[in-house]
Amino acid sequence: MANKNMFLWWGSGSAPCWRPMIVLAEKGLWENLPNKQISFSNKEHKGEEILKLNPRGQVPTFKDGNVVVNESGAVCMYLEEKYSDDSNRLFPTKADERAEVYQRMFETTNVQSNISEKLVYYLFRTKKEDIDEKILKEKTDNAREELNRWNTILGDKDYLCGSKFTMADVFFYPILAFLVRCGTKLTNQPALKKYYDRVSERPSVQATWPPHWKESEGQGQLKEL
pLDDT in tens, 128-155: 889 999 999 999 999 999 999 999 999 9
Question: What is the number of other CB atoms lying within 10 angstroms of the CB of residue 62?
Answer: 26
Q: Per residue in 35-76, pLDDT tens?
A: 999 999 899 899 999 999 999 999 999 999 999 999 999 999
Residue 4 pLDDT greater than 80, yes or no: no
Going by the DSSP 8-state scheme, the letter that residue 39 receives in this structure is: P
What's the pLDDT band for 105 if we cut at 50, 70, 90? very high
Query: Percent of the chain, pLDDT > 90?
Result: 84
Instruction: Report the alpha-carbon distance of residue 97 to residue 148 in Å, rounded.
Output: 24
The model's pTM is: 0.94
For residue 158, is pLDDT > 60? yes
Alpha-carbon gap, residue 105 to 168, rounded angstroms: 4
| 17: number of Cβ within 10 Å | 24
Which amino acid, 161?
A: C
Q: What fold, for 95-215? A: Glutathione S-transferase Yfyf (Class Pi); Chain A, domain 2 (1.20.1050)
Q: Is the pLDDT of residue 183 over 70?
A: yes
Letter string b/e over residues 160-189, b meaning 16 or more CB atoms within 10 A of that residue's CB: bbeeebbbbbbbbbbbbbbbbbbbbebeeb
Residues 6+ apart with CB under 8 A from 201: none
The yes/no answer on whether domain 6-83 falls in CATH 3.30.530.20 is no
What is residue 195's predicted lDDT score, i.e. its pLDDT? 98
Burial class (CB in 10 A: 0-12, 13-18, 19+), 108: buried
Q: How confident is the model at residue 7 (pLDDT cuts 50, 70, 90)?
A: very high
Task: Report pLDDT for 2.
Answer: 58
d(CA 210, CA 51): 23
Residue ranges per structural domain of the chain: 6-83, 95-215
